[in-house]
Amino acid sequence: MGGFPILSTMILVPLIGAIICLFLEAKAARSVALVITLINLALGIVLWLNYDIGGAQWQFAERADLFAGFQYALGIDGIALMLIMLSVFLMPICIGASWEAIKTRVGEYMAAFLLMETLMIGTFAAQDIFLFYIFFEAGLIPMYLIIGIWGGDNRIYASYKFFLYTLLGSVLMLIAMFWMVNVAGTSSIAALMQYDFAPEAQTWLWLAFFASFAVKMPMWPVHTWLPDAHVQAPTAGSVILAGVLLKLGGYGFIRFSLPMFPEASAQFAWLVFALSMIAVVVTSLIALVQHDMKKLIAYSSVAHMAIVTVGLFSFNVQGLEGSMIVMLSHGLVSGALFLCVGVIYDRLHTREIDRYGGLSINMPAYATLFLLFTMASIGLPGTSGFVGEFLSLAGIYQVSSTVAFVCTTGIILGAGYMLYLYRRVAFGEQKNADAAAMPDLTMREYALLTPIAAVVLWMGIYPESFLAPMRADIAALDARLARAAPAGDAMISFGEPVVDEAVIEEAPTTPDAAVEEAQ
| Residues in region 381-400 near other proteins by CB under 8 A | 381-382, 386-387, 390-391, 393-394, 397-398
Report CA 157 to chain centroid distance, whole Å.
24
Q: What b-and-e string marks burial along 295-325, b requiring 16 or more CB atoms within 10 Å of the CB? A: bbbbbbbbbbbbbbbbbbbbbbbbbbbbbbb
Q: Taking the complex as a whole, how short is the minimal distance between the CB of residue 286 and other proteins, in angstroms?
A: 4
Site for other proteins in 208-247 (CB under 8 A): 221-222, 224-225, 227
- Among the candidate windows 192-200, 348-356, 442-450, 459-467, which touches other proteins by CB under 8 A? 459-467
Q: Taking the complex as a whole, how short is the minimal distance between the CB of residue 267 and other proteins, in angstroms?
A: 21
CA distance 172 to 367: 45
**Interaction of residue 270 with other proteins, rule CB under 8 A:** no
Q: Taking the complex as a whole, how short is the minimal distance between the CB of residue 217 and other proteins, in angstroms?
A: 15
Quick one: which of 423, 447, 479, 513 contacts other proteins (CB under 8 A)? Answer: 423
CA distance 72 to 134: 11
**Interaction of residue 495 with other proteins, rule CB under 8 A:** yes
Q: What secondary structure, in 3-state letters, does 98-135 show?
A: CCCCCCCCHHHHHHHHHHHHHHHHHHHHECEHHHHHHH
Instruction: State the distance between the two ends of the chain, measured CA to CA, in whole angstroms.
Output: 39
Site for other proteins in 31-50 (CB under 8 A): none
CA distance 390 to 330: 14
CA distance 130 to 136: 9
Report CA 398 to chain centroid distance, whole Å.
24
Q: What b-and-e string marks burial along 8-19, b requiring 16 or more CB atoms within 10 Å of the CB? A: bebbebbbebbe
Report CA 85 to chain centroid distance, whole Å.
12
**Interaction of residue 141 with other proteins, rule CB under 8 A:** yes
Q: Taking the complex as a whole, how short is the minimal distance between the CB of residue 112 and other proteins, in angstroms?
A: 11
Q: Quick one: 17 or 311, whose CB is closer to other proteins? A: 311
Quick one: which of 1, 45, 65, 69 contacts other proteins (CB under 8 A)? Answer: 69
Task: Tell me the one-letter amino acid at 164.
Answer: L
Q: Quick one: 291 or 444, whose CB is closer to other proteins? A: 291
CA distance 377 to 381: 11
CB atoms within 10 A of CB 363: 24
Report CA 332 to chain centroid distance, whole Å.
10
Q: Taking the complex as a whole, how short is the minimal distance between the CB of residue 515 and other proteins, in angstroms?
A: 26
Quick one: which of 89, 113, 124, 133 contacts other proteins (CB under 8 A)? Answer: 133
Q: Quick one: 28 or 436, whose CB is closer to other proteins? A: 436
Residues 13, 39 contacting (CB under 8 angstroms): yes
Residues 106, 30 contacting (CB under 8 angstroms): yes
Site for other proteins in 145-204 (CB under 8 A): 145, 148-149, 156, 159-161, 163-165, 167, 174, 178, 181-182
**Interaction of residue 138 with other proteins, rule CB under 8 A:** yes
Quick one: which of 439, 494, 501, 519 contacts other proteins (CB under 8 A)? Answer: 494
**Interaction of residue 498 with other proteins, rule CB under 8 A:** yes
Q: Taking the complex as a whole, how short is the minimal distance between the CB of residue 291 and other proteins, in angstroms?
A: 11
Site for other proteins in 97-126 (CB under 8 A): none
Q: Taking the complex as a whole, how short is the minimal distance between the CB of residue 194 and other proteins, in angstroms?
A: 22
Quick one: which of 24, 172, 193, 317 contacts other proteins (CB under 8 A)? Answer: 317
**Interaction of residue 493 with other proteins, rule CB under 8 A:** yes
Q: Quick one: 1 or 19, whose CB is closer to other proteins? A: 19
**Interaction of residue 329 with other proteins, rule CB under 8 A:** no
**Interaction of residue 438 with other proteins, rule CB under 8 A:** no
CA distance 378 to 284: 11
**Interaction of residue 315 with other proteins, rule CB under 8 A:** no
User: Which residues contact residue 162 at a Cβ distance below 8 angstroms, ignoring those fewer than 6 apart?
Assistant: 140, 143, 144, 147, 225, 228, 229
Site for other proteins in 342-371 (CB under 8 A): 358, 360-361, 368
CA distance 363 to 366: 5
**Interaction of residue 485 with other proteins, rule CB under 8 A:** no
The H-or-E segment that residue 76 falls in is strand 71-76
Q: How many residues form the binding site for other proteins (CB under 8 A)?
A: 97
